[in-house]
Chains A and B, each alone.
Chain A
Amino acid sequence: MEWKRYRALLLPPIPNLRDISVYEAHGGYEALRRVLTDPAWSPERLIEEVKASGLRGRGGAGFATGLKWSFMPPPDGRPRYLCVNGDESEPGTFKDRQILEYNPHLLIEGALLAAYAIRASAIYVYIRGEYADWIDRFEEALEQARARGYVGARICDTDFGVAFYVHKGAGAYICGEESALMESIEGKRAYPRQKPPFPAQRGLWGRPTTINNVETLANVPLIVRHGAQWYSRIGAPKHPGPILYGISGHVNRPGVYELPSGMPIETLIYEIAGGVRGGKRLKAVIPGGSSTPPLRADQIAGITMDAESLRAAGSMMGTAGMVVLDEDTDMVRVLLRIAEFYHHESCGQCTPCREGTGWLVKILRRIAQGEGKPSDLDLLLQICDQMEGRTICALADAAAWPVRHTVQRFREEFEARCRPSLVAVPETIPS
């Protein structure tokens, strides 16, 4: 099996890798030095290399990274920005924090390379506020990089310079949405902006801005070090590279596993994560964070973790944060909790999202309490119809997808909960 020979590159098991000397001793910052000092490595060439590698964003949407960088307009002498998305708040997702803790210099090097490619003058790393302990450690790494001349003016004694700051969030999932993240850095409530214009045209403070996920940027030094060709041969052809699979829920060995893209879901559960806890049977898998539609146990045979395979199976890759659910799981309660999450996190700007997420919660709560009506299931699907594709940002879709697909794929379980009880229930007193 190919995957058994795969050696981790994003999170290699090297003690103290967060120390810059250890990182440098293992080839760290060589890619940056090479790109900045070899005239053959123009920003355009770096963008071409990343395009050729096939790297796709790891923040959830899976957009081609090199292509995104190429959307930046030509420099006009005024500031332009790179934002690093370390908000990591999609339930089931806990991978970026491991990079911050174990390999922060890889992220710093990747962000510097990206800043060079898009000719950014400043980098803002947005990290969720809850990661306070990890932010402190990341800032230490950043100080080390500054002290060695990798951050600031004249990096590696070249003309290239970039400012590098950390911006600490304060608890709001919506800050992970790219335009909301920029509003938040600007010191405002994190309300997503209407698009277009896209960030490359009008981003932070109205200036051209590119935004990438932490794990996405951590891949960039690997591409420069080993070449686009080498990189594109890892894992699934159309979605290549190493992936940090975060596996949680009812498995024996949960955690963040680095492996090639395109891993079979069954292998991840049974061989990598040690199988379902307590020898129970599998009921469902949420492949890539709470917004990705769940797959029933009988739907996962042969399905691999890459955009194409998951789309064909009726789900999505998302953040590769896989939640494994055993046979005893109450899907109604799980779905209710997911709906509560999106309702709590809706910023409230769009009516279909603000009201829709609230209705979903109300109806699901009713079903969970045994007071649902059979017609409620169709009502849930109708509300999803009213939410999908009708709002400023994709949070409303992220809330609707799991509802739609869980109700459809576990319909019997929902119907059973909506059948009137055989035991007469006394009139409830309205609260």
Chain B
Amino acid sequence: MEPEYAFTAEELARIAEIRRRYPTARAALMPVLWMAQEKFGWLSREVIELVAQTLSLNPAEVYGVATFYTMYHTQACGRYVLDLCTCLSCQVLGAEDLLRHLEERLGVRDGQTTPDGLFTVRHTECLGACGSGPVLMINNRRYVHRLSQERLDQLIEELRQGRMPEFASIPLPERPWEQEASSDS
């Protein structure tokens, strides 16, 4: 039987490939932590030890790196981690009210996970999508733009049904002055 915490042969081959991108094994740490988190959901003590062993590093060093970066989960979290941006541009568009709404709606406080283990709610710093704020990120990946209370409620329902929103581009804004400029030239 496979041990509970291990990388498969395929994963080890990928790790070997990652290591070739850098002159030191140490530098492969962040990509390998990403791989481990995607596989195991979060970076428990056992997972940290597995990563350390795989790259011949000290577990304390690995833990130190994992805790430095906010996207690595060093604690168990819900199936859907909702990171709502409350930073500058999103704040002035009402993101703090949206956070309160989300908390009330799910019955948890910022940073907590719902008892059914489905949702973790967190406020987050700027997600780099300020022009389409307020913005939320699901599971370290999918962005949902231009949030409102209605859109949040709808999103929660979709996720409860296991439906992840599609990747959505932010269209380049229209440039109405260009028609004007070409018509008078």
Contacts and interface: CB of A to CB of B under 8 A. Distances in A.
A304 interface: no
A249 B128 contact: no
Interface string B132-145: 11000100111100
Interface string A341-355: 100110000000000
Nearest to B31: A168
B30 A187 contact: yes
B173 A333 contact: no
Given A128-B128, A246-B130, A341-B125, A4 B177 contact: yes
A11 B126 contact: no
A171 B74 CA distance: 14
Given A5-B181, A189-B65, A323-B130, A173 B125 contact: yes
A97 B71 CA distance: 19
A130 B131 contact: no
B141 A132 contact: yes
Contacts of A257: 173, 175
Contact of A172 (B68, B133, B178): B68
Contact of A90 (B126, B141, B177): B126
A158 to B, nearest CB: 23
Contacts of A138: none
A65 B145 CA distance: 34
A286 B181 CA distance: 29
B171 to A, nearest CB: 8
Interface in A273-323: 286, 290, 321, 323
Contacts of B174: 253
A400 interface: no
Contacts of A272: 177
Contacts of A40: none
B100 to A, nearest CB: 14
Chain A contact residues: helix, strand, loop or mixed: mixed
Contacts of B126: 89-93, 173, 290, 341
B3 interface: no
B174 to A, nearest CB: 7
Contact of B128 (A131, A186, A334, A338): A131
B91 interface: yes
Nearest to A347: B68
A188 B27 CA distance: 8
A189 B26 CA distance: 12
B161 to A, nearest CB: 21
Interface in B50-67: 64-65
A4 B181 contact: yes
A81 to B, nearest CB: 10
B23 A338 contact: no
Nearest to B89: A248
B28 interface: yes
Contacts of A290: 87-88, 126
B118 interface: no
A334 B89 CA distance: 9
B16 interface: no
Contact of B86 (A167, A169, A337): A337
A130 B71 contact: yes
A79 interface: yes
A168 B127 CA distance: 15
Contacts of B30: 167-170, 184, 187
A246 B21 CA distance: 34
Contacts of A170: 30, 33-34, 69-72
A98 B33 CA distance: 27
Contact of B87 (A4, A184, A254, A341): A341
B88 A92 contact: yes
A188 B91 contact: no
Nearest to B130: A248
Contact of B93 (A131, A249, A253, A255): A249
A129 interface: yes
Nearest to A163: B21
B129 interface: yes
B170 interface: yes
Contacts of A128: 128
A165 interface: yes
A169 B23 CA distance: 18
Given A90-B126, A130-B127, A323-B92, A255 B65 contact: no
B8 interface: no
Contacts of B91: 333-334, 337
A116 interface: no
Contacts of A215: none
A14 to B, nearest CB: 11
B130 A91 contact: yes
A352 B68 CA distance: 20
Contacts of B137: 130
B103 to A, nearest CB: 18
A321 B33 CA distance: 32
Identify the 8 closest CB pairs spanning chains A and B, nearest first.
A255-B173, A170-B69, A171-B71, A187-B29, A4-B181, A171-B70, A248-B130, A91-B126
Interface of A: 1, 4-5, 7-8, 11, 13, 79, 88-94, 96-98, 101-102, 128-133, 163, 165, 167-173, 184-190, 205, 246-250, 253-257, 271-272, 286, 290, 321, 323, 325, 329, 333-334, 337-338, 341, 344-345
Given A101-B169, A171-B70, A337-B87, 7 more contacts: A5-B181, A91-B126, A92-B89, A92-B130, A188-B65, A253-B174, A290-B88
